Structure 1
Amino acid sequence: MTQQKFQIILVLVADTAGGRPRGRPRKDPERLSTWVPPEGWSRLVAWISPEERLALKRVALEANTSVADLVRALASGLAGGVITPEELLGHVRKGIQVMEKIPTMFDRGEDFKVLPRPRQGCEWVFAGEGRPTEKLDGTNVRVTVRSGHVVRVEKRRNPSKLQKQQGIIDGWYVDADEHGPEDKWVFEAVRGTSFEGWPDGEHPAEALGPNIQGNPLGLTRHLCVPFNLEIPVYDEVPRTYDGLREMFQQLESRFAPGHLAEGIVFHHPDGRRAKIKRKDFPGISARSR
């Protein structure tokens, strides 16, 4: 984005903030500030990581505004024609590549749907290598088990864009906070899982349930599913664009029969992984048959 357009965005930010610097502390702290949105307005909510939040706050600080008004200014720029969709899409694609934990096996097009073109680095999938397993859409965690009891719960953290530029590619695990609201459902999943029979050691798992990622499998309780013990394996999975697209039309979840599978993850013996999701294909609904 050019410096000139960035300056225009800052002007838009000032306009959305009423042209006034943020006042802290309030002159009358006992009085709550209220604001009623105009008719037809809607509220946008998104979950972001601490690193992403910090990056947005840095830009908002330079613009002397809040993160919320910064996002609104971006929307105003699009609506007003100051920022073109094509210009923004280039940055969005870069962000998606950073955000992806496991590479999608096909390249993506302008609409973010996959193209019939193998993604560089995923050639091994098309060569027939790797074991296809069901992709469970939840929160990636790691639990440490001793004698059938959980003694530690961790959640996955992925490298930021800057860290990737520094050569830090793989994610890592950090301790989850049992008393933190952001990890509430992770611990609900741990409490809803029986760890009897789990070998002692660290187990990467997926936390699933009614309040996690929209619950696409229609689960009635929260639980943890270990990747190394219970993830369902599909015996025959095509390795072509057309074959996978046709398969996903009716592919049933083996973990939750009666629901469509979210996707497939291919696991190579050397640790490499690649994924494909039903919603990646054009013309296929993410949730319905």
Structure 2
Amino acid sequence: MQKILSLYARNYDTDRLVRDEVVPGAEWVLTGEGQATRKWDGTSCLVQSGRLYRRYDAKKGRTPPADFEPAQEPDPLTGHHPGWVPVGEGPDDAHHCEAWAAADRALPDGTYELIGPKVQGNPEGTISHQLIRHGEAVLDDAPRDFAALRAYLEARPEMEGLVWHHPDGRMVKLKRKDFFSSRRR
């Protein structure tokens, strides 16, 4: 899964929050294109040809494992190189395996979010590990302007944010914490 473009520019020199300035390439969201969906707070996974993969970032200077599948070229500025590695039986994969078994391994190809009690501190509040397909939790009521989006996310502390999916495959994200200095809960 490639890095997803943010909707608004960030104040990197001050509070690191977003300002009412659209990032170039994300304008289509404000013109009403694409579908808003819920952004889940976990870790991304890939199902491909009946196999589960977990996200792996081959950061600058880090040699990826032999079975690493890049999702994009390395970022020339940060050195981040996101990609996928197959889920195995090791301790790093235990939660992935639990969710995969619960899904009965019958998931269609695509990207998913692993959420659960041992993932990111369980901000989603789930009692078991599970895989949620990206883009399935459609939010038809999501607004598309800065002030309304801020109010929308402020009123929904249970949500990490939004991801807009364009029919041509482009995506744009906006996280709740982009507006507020503290975490969701």
TM-score (norm 2): 0.79
Q: CA deviation at 1:178?
A: 1.9
What CA distance in whole angstroms lies between the structure 1 residues aligned with 2:58 and 2:30?
28
Supply the AA of the counterpart residue of 1:287: R
Q: Which residue of 2 aligns with 1:287?
A: 184
Q: What are structure 2's unaligned runs of at least 5 residues? A: 61-72
Q: Which residue of 2 aligns with 1:49?
A: none
Supply the AA of the counterpart residue of 2:184: R
Q: Which residue of 2 aligns with 1:269?
A: 167
What CA distance in whole angstroms lies between the structure 2 residues aligned with 1:159 and 1:190?
24
What CA distance in whole angstroms lies between the structure 2 residues aligned with 1:121 and 1:183?
35
Count residues with an aligned counterpart: 169
**Alpha-carbon RMSD:** 2.7
Supply the AA of the counterpart residue of 2:33: E
Q: CA deviation at 1:223?
A: 0.9
For residue 176 of structure 1, the aligned residue among 78, 87, 90 is 87
Q: Which residue of 1 aligns with 2:176?
A: 278
**1:163 to 1:262, Cα distance in 2 relative to 1, 3 A:** closer
TM-score (norm 1): 0.52
What CA distance in whole angstroms lies between the structure 2 residues aligned with 1:159 and 1:129?
33
More helix by share: 1
Supply the AA of the counterpart residue of 1:117: E
What CA distance in whole angstroms lies between the structure 2 residues aligned with 1:218 and 1:245?
23
Q: Which residue of 1 aligns with 2:53?
A: 154
What CA distance in whole angstroms lies between the structure 1 residues aligned with 2:123 and 2:42?
9
Supply the AA of the counterpart residue of 2:119: I
For residue 236 of structure 1, the aligned residue among 131, 135, 141 is 141
Q: Secondary structure at the match of 2:148?
A: helix
Q: Which residue of 2 aligns with 1:95?
A: none
Q: CA deviation at 1:159?
A: 6.2
Is 1:116 matched with 2:20?
yes
Q: Look at both structures and tell me which one has the larger radius of gyration over its CA atoms.
A: 1
Supply the AA of the counterpart residue of 2:166: H
Q: CA deviation at 1:212?
A: 0.4
For residue 135 of structure 1, the aligned residue among 22, 31, 39 is 39
Is 1:250 matched with 2:155?
yes
What CA distance in whole angstroms lies between the structure 1 residues aligned with 2:57 and 2:7?
19
Q: Which residue of 1 aligns with 2:65?
A: none
Deviations along 1:13-66, whole A, 9 cap, x unmatched?
xxxxxxxxxxxxxxxxxxxxxxxxxxxxxxxxxxxxxxxxxxxxxxxxxxxxxx
Deviations along 1:245-280, whole A, 9 cap, x unmatched?
1111212xxxxxxx6211100111111111111111
